[in-house]
């Protein structure tokens, strides 16, 4: 199906019980550098983005007892939650993958320039893969990260 890489790695999402505790390891032991923090109680999470030698790590902590992360942590414990790939023309690429039989578990168009979809872990050997473009899907496109000229 693919004639080359579909996109490039944007970030690795890691589910943790406490981003404050997890930061001690990722910054103190691995040397990752803090990028930004964002709380989204309505969506049920708090995140901290870290830069580890050019790779973005996204630490996700549940916000509220109804958070999707509470169930994830209860069933699987802390660890890999998802990989996010930056995919040019992601909406069309996802449509082609679906036509090819790849199961998606969620899709959302945030704006004309921002779209995301998740490949079911059952289709991708146990890994939740987020495909997308633009803000808020991609870690390095956060509105508060944009520099003014």
pLDDT at 144: 47
Residue 95 clears pLDDT 60, i.e. is over it: yes
Residue 9 clears pLDDT 50, i.e. is over it: yes
pLDDT at 143: 55
Cα 65 to Cα 29: distance, rounded to the nearest angstrom: 30
Residue 145 clears pLDDT 60, i.e. is over it: no
Global confidence as pTM: 0.89
Chosen CATH of 8-141 out of 1.10.1060.10, 3.10.180.10, 3.30.70.1290, 3.60.20.10? 3.10.180.10
SS3 32: coil
The share of the chain scoring above pLDDT 70, in percent, equals: 92
For 98-123, what is each residue's pLDDT tens digit?
A: 999 999 999 999 888 889 999 999 99
Q: Give Cα separations from 105 to 31, 42, 71, 116, 119 (angstroms).
A: 34, 20, 16, 11, 6
pLDDT at 1: 58
Confidence of residue 43 (pLDDT cuts 50, 70, 90): confident
Q: Give Cα separations from 107 to 21, 54, 61 (angstroms).
A: 32, 27, 22
């Amino acid at each position: 199906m693919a004639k080359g890489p579909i996109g490039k790695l944007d970030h690795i999402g890691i589910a943790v019980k406490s981003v404050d505790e997890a930061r001690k390891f990722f910054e103190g032991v691995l040397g990752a550098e803090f990028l930004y923090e964002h709380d989204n109680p309505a969506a049920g999470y708090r995140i901290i983005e870290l830069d580890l030698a050019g790779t973005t790590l996204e630490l996700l902590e549940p916000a509220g007892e109804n958070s999707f992360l509470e169930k994830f942590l209860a069933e699987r414990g802390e660890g890999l939650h998802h990989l996010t790939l930056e995919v040019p023309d992601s909406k069309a690429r996802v449509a082609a993958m679906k036509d090819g039989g790849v199961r998606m578990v969620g899709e959302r168009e945030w704006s004309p320039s921002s779209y995301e979809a998740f490949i079911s872990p059952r289709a991708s050997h146990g890994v939740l893969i987020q495909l997308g473009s633009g803000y808020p899907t991609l870690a390095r496109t956060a509105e508060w990260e944009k520099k003014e000229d």
